[in-house]
Amino acid sequence: MGLRVDFVNISINGKSSGIYYMEERFDKYLVENNRLREGIFFKIEKGLEPYQEGRLMKNPGTRDQLLMIKRLWQQVMAGDLPPGKLFDMKKMAQVFVVCDLMNNKHPLAAQNLRYYFNPITGLAEPVAREWEELYDNDPLELALFLEKPRPATRHFRFERLPFIRMIYDNLEFKRHYIREAAEVSQVQFLDQLLKRNEDKLNALLKKVYRTWPFYEDPTQFLYENQRYMRSVLFPEAEQLSAYFNQKDGNRLNVYLQNQQYMPLQVDYLSWRDSIRFYPESPIALDSKVKVPKGEALAFYFTVPDGLRWEEGMAGELKAHYNLLGLAPGAKTTPVLRWNDEASLAYRGFEEARTSNYTSFDFIEQDAEQNTITIPAGDWSINQDLVIPSDKRFEIAPGARIDLANQARIISYSPVFCQGSEEHPILIHSSDESGRGLLVIEAPQRSYLSHTTFDHLSGTGQEGGPSSGAITFYKSPVSIHTCFFSNNKQGKSFLSIIRSELAMDEALFSNIAGNAVDGDFCTGSISNSSFVNIGGNGISLRGAEVNLSHLFFNSIDGAGISAGEESELDARWIDLRNAAAGIASQDGSAVALADVLATNCQVGIAAFQEKKSFGPGLVAAQRIEFVEVASPFLVEMQSGITLDGNPVAENADKVKDILFGQENKGKAEQTEDL
């Protein structure tokens, strides 16, 4: 249903006030103009709010219908009824797609969007209104509804509205959305639409020209939005990753991973493009933001009767898929072996180690409390110490642990390393070979406080997640008043992987690589300092982290590096003597405020390195540069806004500029940039 609109010249007390936009209201004439039966209008703001509810309740016919609508609404919001039982999901999808084509989310605000209950279909249909003007798109604002919203945008706020979230989390809605978007994104759709309405458009433009003679026809922006829509729906990069794991009876176990935001359907596997293996049940892979970042899901495909499966056949398998709702099996991707070097960040660490804490005579046990404790005192560990998952592992205040001969502490339990000002804890390596602390899939949160980690070395895993001198893998941790110093080996000192981090009052100094590496992590870092860092101060991939009150000085890489669709909110940042202050790359979005950058080569950079991701974006407010050679580096398609105003693109191959031949040594240490 569409509202009739027009441009009209308004005169008040005989004085012209110029051209105004006039929009039809909600009454029986609107319904008649759309050739529909008279029905109930309502909006959803504080709840379901019908138009003229008093009049509707007095009429027995409309009273029963209104009560039915309210009952259905309550059942939908309670989760007892799918939204498709009350709302026409195809028409909801059409409205969302049109909003994306217009790059205009405003009509979907709760106070704007209305609904018409069609008495014929028994479903509520959306009526969009309050359209805003077309304009040159801010890269931060341009995003389809099924993409993950970028911080501080209207899309971001809408995504948090329970009703809107419920609608576009629905797979039926997504199936309709993709079908409609695939049609609307075609150039001929706009060509034909504008041609059909050419006379109407020209008449409207003539009215505008009377008071705005230099007004430019904005339809070019529709084509730009359309190109963006196509780039998201039909990217050049692979949309699906598939990995063969093993044969299980008469089934093939295959890991599948959606690499982008649009949901996919995986229709079948094929061998040599002839023999097909169909899934046990239909496979719909939701947006990659709906599963833990970087992880794959396991599915089973049935081996056809009479086929003798041999392991060597796995090398010639293909997965056939498409966007959800489009032609089945139109796209293909090879099925790799799970052990092949692959693009998955999901690798995990080595197989679980057998616990051996009983072989260390200084370790205390409390069977009643189920604790394992390293008491106060000086202790030397020359081989890996392994703590099982069913214990509480404590390091007592006043403990001083020397990790020598490449030893490290590996714990599958949470670690309570809580010193005090009077009795701090020290974990160090006298021969500088000790590999620190590794916490793997601990069932509860770990706590570190008043602890110094000194002269420890990190490790690296080729093709998988890095292991820092201190690493938490799928293990939440809180860190307070800790010191990390004198690291001479490894990609990073503190590595947080698929974990939630809460860190404050930390000091990192004299670090060879990155001070903090975060892979697919969440949380916050505040009131902390980073001094003399050989790589990046904070290097994040696929992370959602809040940063505040941070100090950086003498950083060979970037103070803060956001990559692989990270979302950062950073405020009160003091950056000094860094190769780059803030870097946003590969689909990351950084919201900055109250930043001082002093004596840096580059202040803020936004760029794209990997084809499988989008451009980097930064929204900055209240930024001060002092003796910064290049305040901004903005690559094509990436975007930086300063106090709401876009910064012009001014560079190609930003990575090469940041780390060219003159900085080759530094680049090797800071490969994330």
Taking only the tens place, the pLDDT of each residue in 21-31 is 888 888 888 88
Residues with Cβ < 8 Å from 656, sequence gap 6 or more?
none
**How many C-beta atoms lie closer than 10 Å to residue 10's C-beta?**
11
Three-state SS at 165:
helix
Tokens of 615: 């451009």
Residues contacting 158, CB < 8 A, separation 6+ = 105, 108, 109, 149, 164
Greatest pairwise CA separation for the chain in angstroms: 98
385-408 as b/e: b if 16+ CB within 10 A: bbbbeebbbbbbbbbbbbbbeebb
Tokens 């020290």 belong to residue: 426
Instruction: Report pLDDT for 673.
Output: 34
For residue 522, is it within any domain?
no
Residue type, 419: G
What pLDDT, on the 0 to 100 scale, is given for residue 140?
61
Side chain identity, residue 151: P
Contact 154, 141 (CB under 8 A): yes
Task: Determine contact, residues 244/317, Cβ cutoff 8 Å.
Answer: yes
Whether 387 and 496 map to the same domain: the answer is yes
Determine the residue type at 31: V
| 475 in a structural domain | yes
The CATH number of residue 264's host domain is 2.60.40
Q: 489 with 620, same domain?
A: no
Scan for tokens 């609307």, then name that residue. Answer: 184
Residues 425 and 399: beta-carbon distance below 8 Å: yes
Residues 381 and 297 in one domain: no
Contact 636, 630 (CB under 8 A): no
Distance of CA 430 to the CA centre of its chain: 41
The string of pLDDT tens digits covering residues 467-492 is 789 999 989 999 999 999 999 888 89
Co-location of 12 and 41 in the same domain: yes
Predicted local distance difference test score (pLDDT) of residue 496 = 94
CB-based contacts of 15, cutoff 8 Å, min separation 6: none
pTM of the model: 0.69
Domain boundary among 190, 214, 233: 233
> What pLDDT score does 343 carry?
35
Residue 360 forms part of a structural domain: no
Q: Which residues pair with 511 in a beta bridge?
A: 487, 533
Gap between the Cα atoms of 435 and 492, Å rounded: 12
Is residue 670 situated within a structural domain? no
Amino acid identity, position 456: L
Give yes or no: residues 634 and 586 share one domain: yes
Residues 398 and 503 occupy one common structural domain = yes
CB 363 within 8 A of CB 357: yes
The pLDDT assigned to 344 comes to 36
Give residues with Cβ within 8 angstroms of 203, minimum separation 6: none
Residue whose structure tokens are 């780390």: 659
Predicted local distance difference test score (pLDDT) of residue 295: 67
Beta carbons of 563 and 586 less than 8 angstroms apart: yes
Q: 51: how many CB neighbours lie within 10 A of its CB?
A: 15
Q: Nearest CA to 90 among 226, 183, 222?
A: 183
- Are 142 and 162 in contact by the 8 Å Cβ rule? The answer is no
Whole-number pLDDT of residue 155: 78
Confidence (pLDDT) at 19: 84
Please indicate, yes or no, if residue 661 is contained in any of the structural domains. Answer: no
Q: Which domain holds residue 171?
A: 5-233
The tally of domains found in the chain comes to 4
Q: Is residue 244 part of a domain?
A: yes
Residue type, 99: C
Contact present, 296 and 255 (Cβ < 8 Å)? yes
Amino acid in the structure at residue 273: D
**H helix or E strand, kind and range, residue 668:** helix 664-669
Q: How far apart are CA 556 and CA 355, in angstroms?
A: 40
| Cβ contact 457:469 at 8 Å | yes
Is 525 a member of any domain? no
Q: Are residues 189 and 270 in the same domain?
A: no
The confidence score (pLDDT) of residue 655 equals 67
Q: Do residues 416 and 437 lie in contact, with contact meaning Cβ atoms separated by under 8 Å?
A: no
Q: Which amino acid is at 316?
A: E
Same domain, 472 and 620: no
Q: For the chain, which residues score pLDDT lower than 70?
A: 136-141, 151-152, 289-295, 339-351, 460-466, 612, 652-673
Classify residue 218 by its DSSP letter. Answer: T
Place of tokens 């998201």: 232
Residue from 453, 425, 422, 450 nearest 437 by CA: 453
> CA 396, CA 449: separation in Å to the nearest integer?
11
Report the C-alpha gap between 355 and 474 in whole angstroms: 19
pLDDT at 76: 93
Residue recorded with tokens 């044969």: 247
Tokens read off for 77: 């919001």
Same domain, 40 and 92: yes
At residue 32, φ and ψ (nearest 5 deg) are: -65, -40
Whether residue 494 sits in one domain with residue 563: no
Is 229 found in the same domain as 173? yes
Tell me which long-range contacts 200-207 makes (C-beta under 8 A, separation of at least 24).
Answer: 204/6, 204/7, 207/7, 207/8, 207/9, 207/19
> And the tokens for 308?
């003798």
- On whether both 87 and 184 belong to a single domain, the answer is yes
**Residue 453 neighbours by CB distance under 10 Å:** 28
- At 341 the pLDDT is 37
End position of a domain, from candidates 187, 214, 233: 233
Q: Within a domain: residue 517?
A: no
Cα gap 121→36, rounded to integer Å: 11
Residue type, 211: T
